[in-house]
Structure 1
Amino acid sequence: MCIKCGKCIPECTIHRVNPDEATSPRGFLDILKGVEEGEIKIDKNFKDTVESCFLCNQCVEVCPNSLPTDFMIENARNLVAKKYGIAWWKRAFFFLLKNRWAYDLVSKLGFYFQTCGFKIEEEKKSIRSRFSLPMLHKGRLLPAFRKKTFLKKYPEKIEVKNPKKRVAIFIGCLANYNYTEVGDSLVEILKFLDIEIFIPKKQSCCGAPAYFTGDFKTTEELIKRNIEYFESFINEVDAIICPEATCSAMLKKDYEEYITHHMDKSWLDRHKKIKQKLFGTTEWLYKYTDLEKRLSNINKTSSVTYHDACHFGKVFGIKNEPRALISKVSELKEMSRPDVCCGFGGITIQSEKFDLAKKEGMIKANIIKEVDAEVVSAECSACRMQITEMLDKVGDNKKFLHPLEIIASKIKELN
């Protein structure tokens, strides 16, 4: 029960850019209670309110009662989706997430034809939209498709001599289609550590975009599909590692919450076996390999400032691990507020409420701009997309690199 202490409000992302009690965490909870008791109707105003949350988990982290406000809002969005439906373009996107063959086709066509509708920026790594469709607002800087996806670039098994461990890679959609250098870097590091690699070719989207939008039908389909697939190889690997904060949180935390409240409980035991082997990449590399030791005595030629992605820093408390590894190869310079949300917020915030994403993103970008560093890093491609665009808007030329990219570049120098 919310005790109205207000500890959540000072750090709340949406309240920072839209200081309204209705869209503060305790305001959300009051409104949801009103709906439950029949005092508040599920109308367009309710829809607008529950879709304004960034789902950054800051309120959950500071709440003295550890109230799962994010989970309650996700369920409220499902009620909205049942009443008002889901926009056609979101349904089309979720179709791609469920059907990789279709997403692969769109990606391939996108690579060859994106220059027809977009201006290529940053050596073909980003695109500036000339359209005004949702997510493609005119002037937006968005990640470009790559010629070949990560899952298409490598064989299913990458063997090494005298393997010490064997891991599976869950890559995530953005790293698979747009930021493939993240996966390339992970493969480079694992080979350096003599770790055998298994790349599950039939992996599906984790389901986070659909879940955060309230599309529980798609969410449940992807949960079942991934758990069933993971079960087919879970006993053959030491870990399933993922370079994405949001995917990791979805696979470990959100699957468990969703199954507990919406699915047959037999799925909980099946998920538990998989959950214990799921890790973020820097967390696993730091705790279960000798990477940190092997990166000693490297010449540090660059400076890096690190942003704590919400779904690692706030959900799992993964803060020290990436910093410990980065600091072995680069000079680490802390920004004043590394835990402030970048403002990505999910597909609805990025499209229908981009004004909120931009306000929060500019706050984050200016915090980063103050740091005298060459590179900004985070273990999240959604953060990468948002921060890259907002740094462009504030005129900061820092390069964004995933921690794995920073580490892999130094390993190449060693070799």
Structure 2
Amino acid sequence: MYKDQSLSELQDAVFRCVKCGMCRSICPVFQIEGAEASVARGRLALIEEFARDKLKAGDNLTRVLSACIMCGRCQANRPNLVEVVKLIRSGRSELARFLGMPLSRKLIMELFYPRKRLYFAFKLGSWLQKFLLRRIPKERGLRLRYPIPLLNRGVAFPPIAREFFLPKYSSTHKASRERMRVGFFVGCLINFVLPEIGTSLLEVLTKNGVSVVLPAEQGCCGLPAFLSGQTELANKLNQKNLEAFRGLDIQVLVTACPTCGEALKGYYELVNKRGERIEVLDISQFLWRHKELFSFPKFTDGILTYHDPCHLKHIQGVDQEPRKLLKMIADGKFVEMDEADLCCGFGGLYSFFHSQTASAINKRKMKNIESSGANTVVTACPGCLIYFRQGIQLKKLPVKAKHLIDVLRG
């Protein structure tokens, strides 16, 4: 369940920040904007003043807190165990209670519940994208053809899939010689934008003796709503997903989206039909833990490098499993890029509402990919994958971007 912190709890937690400034050297937003208000130290100082009632709620404070990309890089390197992401999220929630949600964010978040509304929105978007959006030849994305209120015309939108994943594949996919059975939490980006990631996951697991259960009723994990300060909406989504997976004969639930993984690990209490707690694992964790069950084709198409998704490394602490899997198939042709754990710039809704900063962060990432000498960059996040493909096309790099499970599928 998603829970908010009170103002008094915020004040006590913020006090742990000793204002050392370490966050300035690792924050991707600060390195672009250079303002104290765009780094964790500055934002936490403002939250502290707000919690002490020395700073009034207002649009400026809302703007400062919403401009955090929530990558967690500062939190992963914190000296005093300061939970930066949680504090900024709680600050957003408190401001939303005082001022209400900004209209643009509220309209987007309202699409996520009920589930039928979300499907209708994406179906409509899939049909309208050819009229309202135009493809830019030098980018793998779509831009607004006509100005739309509340949206930045420079934002690049990922193309919506013609056929969604869950309506086609929701069922139990049995392996011919079943050795294990897992559930699969799909997530919005895989369901509506990159369904090929889901089909790769099904193929890799079922071909190697792992049956996969896909409840049709699952929906958004709720974390985007929670990070935006809409806790009530996040918990509605939470409850619907709990109902979808309750009573299934599984002990493990896998996901191929780190944002969903963070939500499921941190805010869900999933139980199977025997009342046992269901363990949530990123697909890389599951595959490495049970590597003796799997046979992966060798990668022979050049050199691989790997990008750490923020919510996978900085929040969940998962960074070695994807690398070990890639090294298994790369025959020595795996290289580390500089700043492999630097944010790609996507950040979900961040890249829509802060497109200039997001684009600048992405350009820095593209330089690191190019300097690595690899011709394939692999990530374990569908959001990163979308933004990489746009950046690669924009810079005309001779590089492919792939999800980890697609590479392991061969």
TM-score past 0.5 threshold:
yes
The one of 109, 113, 118 aligned to 2:133: 118
Q: Does 1:40 align with 2:55?
A: yes
- Deviations along 1:220-262, one digit per CA (max 9) or x if unpaired, are 21222223433332xx113110000111112212x27xxxxxx
Letter in 2 for 1:336: D
What residue is the counterpart of 2:328 in the other structure?
A: 328
Deviation of 1:73 (Å): 0.5
Q: Does 1:216 align with 2:231?
A: yes
Q: Check the 8 A contact 1:142/1:385 in 2, yes or no.
A: no
Structure 2 distance, partners of 1:136, 1:32, is 28
What residue is the counterpart of 2:309 in the other structure?
A: 309
Structure 2 distance, partners of 1:362, 1:274, is 46
- Count of aligned pairs between the two proteins: 391
2:29 partner SS: helix
Structure 1 distance, partners of 2:390, 2:136, is 11
Of 361-370 and 176-185, the range deviating more from structure 2: 361-370
1:161 partner SS: coil
CA RMSD in angstroms comes to 2.6
| CA 321–224 in structure 1, closer or farther in 2 if over 3 Å, else same | same
Deviation of 1:213 (Å): 1.1
- Deviations along 1:154-211, one digit per CA (max 9) or x if unpaired, are 1411112230000111011011000011001000101111111100111120112211
| CA 132–251 in structure 1, closer or farther in 2 if over 3 Å, else same | farther
The one of 239, 244, 250 aligned to 1:229: 244
Structure 1 distance, partners of 2:173, 2:270, is 31
Structure 2 distance, partners of 1:239, 1:38, is 45
Q: Check the 8 A contact 1:142/1:389 in 2, yes or no.
A: no
Of 67-76 and 4-13, the range deviating more from structure 2: 4-13
1:332 partner SS: coil
Deviation of 1:274 (Å): 7.9
The one of 182, 205, 212 aligned to 1:167: 182
| CA 135–363 in structure 1, closer or farther in 2 if over 3 Å, else same | farther
Structure 2 distance, partners of 1:114, 1:308, is 31
Deviation of 1:384 (Å): 1.6
What residue is the counterpart of 1:239 in the other structure?
A: 252
What residue is the counterpart of 2:401 in the other structure?
A: 400
| CA 335–91 in structure 1, closer or farther in 2 if over 3 Å, else same | same
Deviation of 1:275 (Å): 6.8
- Deviations along 1:355-377, one digit per CA (max 9) or x if unpaired, are 22122121112211222222222
Structure 1 distance, partners of 2:240, 2:105, is 20
State, as a whole percentage, how many aligned pairs show the same letter. Answer: 26
What residue is the counterpart of 1:343 in the other structure?
A: 345
| CA 203–111 in structure 1, closer or farther in 2 if over 3 Å, else same | same
Q: Check the 8 A contact 1:129/1:138 in 2, yes or no.
A: yes
Q: How does 1:90-239 map to 2 (within 5 A)?
A: 90-120=105-135, 126-133=141-148, 137-138=152-153, 140-233=155-248, 236-239=249-252
| CA 12–376 in structure 1, closer or farther in 2 if over 3 Å, else same | same
- Deviations along 1:334-365, one digit per CA (max 9) or x if unpaired, are 21110111112331x22332222122121112
Q: Check the 8 A contact 1:15/1:24 in 2, yes or no.
A: yes
Q: Given the two structures, how large is their TM-score scaled by the length of structure 2?
A: 0.88
Q: Check the 8 A contact 2:140/2:389 in 1, yes or no.
A: no
What residue is the counterpart of 1:260 in the other structure?
A: none
Structure 2 distance, partners of 1:3, 1:87, is 31
Letter in 2 for 1:304: L
What residue is the counterpart of 1:387 in the other structure?
A: 388
Deviation of 1:269 (Å): 9.8
Letter in 2 for 1:305: T
Q: Given the two structures, how large is their TM-score scaled by the length of structure 1?
A: 0.87
Structure 2 distance, partners of 1:76, 1:305, is 37
1:188 partner SS: helix
Of 273-282 and 244-253, the range deviating more from structure 2: 273-282
Q: Check the 8 A contact 1:342/1:361 in 2, yes or no.
A: yes
Structure 1 distance, partners of 2:218, 2:144, is 30
Letter in 2 for 1:393: L
1:363 partner SS: helix
Structure 2 distance, partners of 1:336, 1:247, is 26
Structure 2 distance, partners of 1:8, 1:167, is 39
Q: Check the 8 A contact 2:155/2:351 in 1, yes or no.
A: no
Q: Check the 8 A contact 1:227/1:274 in 2, yes or no.
A: no
Residue segments in structure 2 that go unaligned for 5+ positions in a row: 1-15
Structure 2 distance, partners of 1:312, 1:281, is 11
| CA 333–131 in structure 1, closer or farther in 2 if over 3 Å, else same | farther
Structure 1 distance, partners of 2:149, 2:207, is 42
Q: Does 1:372 align with 2:373?
A: yes
What residue is the counterpart of 1:28 in the other structure?
A: 43
Q: Check the 8 A contact 1:165/1:195 in 2, yes or no.
A: yes
Letter in 1 for 2:198: G
| CA 137–46 in structure 1, closer or farther in 2 if over 3 Å, else same | closer
What residue is the counterpart of 2:262 in the other structure?
A: 249
What residue is the counterpart of 2:7 in the other structure?
A: none
Q: Check the 8 A contact 2:309/2:379 in 1, yes or no.
A: yes
2:364 partner SS: helix
Q: Check the 8 A contact 1:312/1:318 in 2, yes or no.
A: yes
Structure 2 distance, partners of 1:227, 1:44, is 35
Deviation of 1:125 (Å): 7.1
Structure 1 distance, partners of 2:86, 2:160, is 32
Q: Check the 8 A contact 1:131/1:137 in 2, yes or no.
A: no
Deviation of 1:140 (Å): 4.1
Q: Check the 8 A contact 2:140/2:390 in 1, yes or no.
A: no
